[in-house]
Structure 1
Amino acid sequence: MNYTRQDLKDLVYQVNGAAIEVHKSLGPGLLESVYHKCLLRELELRNIKFQSELSIPIEYKGIEVEAELRCDLLIEDKLVVELKSVSEMKPIFEAQILSYMNLLNVPMGLLINFNVTNIYKEGQKTYINNLYNQIWD
């Protein structure tokens, strides 16, 4: 591990800032794919390294299973970002991001919902991978 908890908090802050900029420009009510494309551009402008639509490998009992799982963004190989544009956040979204974090073995995740009035207050939630949380305590 070549980063600290503070490094991760700073990265989350930067990504949230990029999402806020996109939301401020576009507002709520658009398709997730629109926000995704605009967020990619905003991350590029901020020189934040990312992979988009990353295929998540699933290994089961010694073989790799073609599951076609894709996370929206993997930021600097340490932050999973899942984007939504929904009227209501559902528990399955939390389960999804936690699973992606475990499968990709990354310490943090960020769930962002663009279909809100105030993205900073109600549109984002940060998650910590329990494996990393134990290391840092």
Structure 2
Amino acid sequence: MTENELSKIVFETGLKIHKKLGAGLFEHVYEECMFYELTKSGFSIEKQKLLPIIYEELRIENAFRLDIILENKVILEIKTVDYIAPTHKAQLLTYLKMTGCKLGLLLNFQSDVFKNGVTRIVNGL
């Protein structure tokens, strides 16, 4: 399945969760719901995946944590903020570069309209 096909499924799943729960909950609630829905659909998915960074000869364990990685292709960063700041986008782009993934989705469940809270970040797609 391509990154774009996975992206569509993620969007539909997030929309379903947003419709049922609305805005205003903690990030981990939406993350658990996304994990639950995507897992029951049979996807390979990991949450709170810790990854190292290698700087010259130095290996820094647990240097960053991915909220969700789907099929080892798409990184999901779950937010519940008033607006997506440039630092959120930069964070996700860094995750994409460090993992070699090509697509990341910022899912801001705080948005009144779910589609307005979704931001695609690409790394060479």
Q: Give the TM-score category using the shorter length.
A: over 0.9
Letter in 1 for 2:47: S
Residue 18 (structure 1) aligned with residue 13 (structure 2): yes
1:62: how far off?
A: 2.4
Which residue pairs with 1:42 in the alignment? 37
Letter in 2 for 1:74: I
Give the 3-state SS of the residue equivalent to 1:103 in structure 2.
Answer: helix
Provide the C-alpha distance between the structure 2 equivalents of 1:46 and 1:9, rounded to a whole number of angstroms.
17
Q: What aligned pairs does 1:44-123 form with structure 2 within 5 A after superposition?
A: 44-120=39-115, 122-123=116-117
1:67 to 1:46, Cα distance in 2 relative to 1, 3 A? closer
Contact 2:80-2:110 within 8 A present in 1 as well? yes
Whether contact under 8 Å (1:85, 1:115) holds in the other structure is yes
Of stretches 79-88 and 60-69 in structure 1, the one that deviates more from structure 2 is 60-69
- The percent identity for this pair of structures is 30
Partner of 2:122: 128
**Contact preservation (8 Å) 1:30, 1:85:** yes
User: 2:26 is matched by which residue type in structure 1?
Assistant: L
Which structure has the greater CA radius of gyration? 1
**Which stretch of structure 1 is more off in the superposition, 35-44 or 93-102?**
35-44
Query: For the residues of structure 2 that align with 1:35 and 1:67, how far apart are their CA atoms?
Result: 23
Matches of 1:75 and 1:62 in 2, distance apart? 30
Alpha-carbon offset, residue 45 of structure 1: 2.3
Q: Is the 8 A contact 2:50 2:62 kept in 1?
A: no
How many residues are paired up? 125
Q: When the two structures are superposed, what TM-score results if normalisation uses the length of structure 2?
A: 0.94
8 Å CA contact 1:56, 1:100 repeated in 2: no
Q: Given residue 22 of structure 2, which amino acid in structure 1 is its aligned partner?
A: G
Instruction: Select between 46-55 and 70-79 the one with higher mean Cα deviation.
Output: 46-55
Deviation (angstroms), 1:88: 1.8
Runs (4 or more) in structure 1 with deviation over 6 Å come to none
